[in-house]
Chain A
Amino acid sequence: MNNKLAALAAALFVIVFGFEVAQIKGQFTPVTQNLQMIGYELFGTGSVVGRYVVPFELLSLILVAGIIGMFYIAGRED
């Protein structure tokens, strides 16, 4: 019964949100991405100023905290 209900929930989810997703408009002509732009956006100074360096560092801080927590939890011997 659990499986059927889960399948039903997932199907309902797809139908409802599919309606919304179908409204997204855009072109899919793949344009050549310049990988350099990603680096500029992240860390750039000078002519192109990066905007994402601070969130990057903060996020890494949080992840480090998570990893240290993982060390503690997994390392308990009880």
Chain B
Amino acid sequence: MYLFLVSMLSLILFAVGLYGIMVSNVGIKMLISIEILINSAILELVTVAVSSGTVDPIILALFGIAIGAVESVIGLSLLTATFRRIGNVAIALLREIKW
């Protein structure tokens, strides 16, 4: 039963992260929501590893942590460059992908 609960928790966390991406107008909020996404995935991986007794999902989770860290760094650098160009980081101003 506990496996079910923890898996549901990670799913809800994932949905929270998605919601955060969809409604955020501030750039940092979007980055933090992406972190939430990654962390929910890592939580799920660790849960599966514990419940099945093997060690391989934990190594994948290790990789995921590293990737999450670097990805947020890159996102921050992009936000910095955007801030330098436009002056504020409202996502609603980025409307270039139009028809």
B19 near A70: Cβ-Cβ < 8 Å? no
| Residues in chain B near residue A26, CB distance under 8 A | 3, 48, 51-52
Q: Complex: how many Å from CA A13 to CA B66? A: 27
With contacts A27-B51, A67-B70 taken as known, whether A21 is within 8 angstroms of B7 at the C-beta atoms is yes
Give the bracket for the number of chain B residues in contact with chain A. 35 or more
> Cα distance A67–B31 when bound, in Å?
17
Interface 1/0 per residue, B9-35 and A, CB below 8 Å: 001101110110011000000000000
Give A residues with C-beta under 8 Å from B: 2-3, 5-7, 9-11, 13-14, 17-18, 21-22, 24-28, 30-31, 33, 37-38, 41-42, 52, 55-56, 59-60, 63, 66-67, 69-71, 73-74, 76, 78
Interface residues of B, Cβ cutoff 8 Å to A: 1-4, 6-8, 11-12, 14-16, 18-19, 22-23, 47-48, 50-53, 55-56, 58-59, 62-63, 66-67, 70-71, 73-74, 76-78, 80-81, 84-85
| 5 interchain pairs, CB-CB under 8 A | A22-B8, A25-B3, A28-B50, A31-B50, A66-B70
